Amino acid sequence: MAGATGYAGRELLRLLARHPHASVRAAMASAASDGTRPAGLARVWDGEIGAFDEEALADADVAFLALPEAAAAKIAPGLVSRGVRVIDLSGAFRLADAAIRRRWYPETTAVPRRAVYGLPEVVDGAELAAAELVACAGCYPTASLLPLMPLVRRGLLDPSTGVVIDAKSGVSGAGKGASERTHFSECHGSVSAYGVFGHRHVPEMEQALGCDVTFVPHLVPLDRGILSTIYARLRPGAGARDVAAALEEAYADAPFVRLGGETLPEIKHVAHTNFCDIGWRVDESAGARRVVLVSCLDNLLKGAAGQAVQVFNVALGYDERLALM
């Protein structure tokens, strides 16, 4: 795996080290890192964190890339051409439309023929099994699409009104690289909005939902976790029972989606787990047809490393829960 020194990469290495069907042949830093061993891995994984080596990745059956988009875009097509299955945690290959992809991920100049979007609860397992490259869903899109997709597939939403998503993320969502925004003294005791009308996860959501999305993310003073509050309108005739039925049917056999109904979820209940918790309320007063959905997940696990291992399990035919419960 590559990118073992980042936040998501460190979590991924911990998960793979305890996976009964995975043997980590090589763990390496990102192309931009000096390979310093992350603290806390003793007796979890005692191998060395090597400098980035593309040739070492080519010897693997499956390569996990927890790298920045530009590095993943450069490396992944070559690995696929050499017969390596790639599970990519970056956004480099998530967008299907070439023109939209060029705007948000201009470094991605080649996409493997059998590249599949990786959100296991939404994408058919056979597609993941046949994929040469799986582009794991982003953390914000995962928290938004899991509540919304069952309603979209049932035709319960009024597409003319679009969807509004107000999301809050812990500081680890910004990655390990320090910036003025992520300094302790800047974010402690504060909440700030960013990326208004310019966040790269919006086209990923719109691609899946097929409607306009107004998305405003916020940075909150937590180390990890995402809470998304989603506002939409139901089509005429749809109500609370339809919403509940759609979600319950969609996730009846999903081990990592927990439905709370009108009990709304909290970040502390999903931190350090691969669960996405979902709650909802429906306003059925005369002419309202409003639905509010609230979801929570751990951005480093269900939003990144845990998602990648879940994809690995589904794609290779293992129990979906291995190394994640």
8 Å CB contact between 29 and 13: no
Q: From the CB of residue 243, how many other CB atoms can be counted at a distance below 10 Å?
A: 23
Q: Which residues contact 83 (CB under 8 A, 6 or more apart)?
A: none
Q: One-letter amino acid identity for 70? A: A
CA 291 distance to own-chain centroid: 23
Helices assigned H by DSSP within the chain: 7-17, 54-58, 69-81, 98-104, 125-130, 139-153, 184-187, 202-209, 240-250, 306-315
Asked whether 295 and 269 are in contact (CB, 8 A), the reply is: no
Q: Using an 8 Å Cβ cutoff, are 56 and 84 in contact?
A: no
**Interstrand relation of 133-136 and 85-88 (parallel, antiparallel or unpaired):** parallel
Please indicate whether residue 296 is annotated as part of the active site.
Answer: no
Q: Which two structure tokens, joined as six digits, stand for 42? A: 């003793």
Choose, from 139, 187, 276, 296, the residue flagged as catalytic: 139
Residue 162 phi, psi (nearest 5): 70, -170
CB 312 within 8 A of CB 293: no
Tell me which residues are annotated as active site: 139
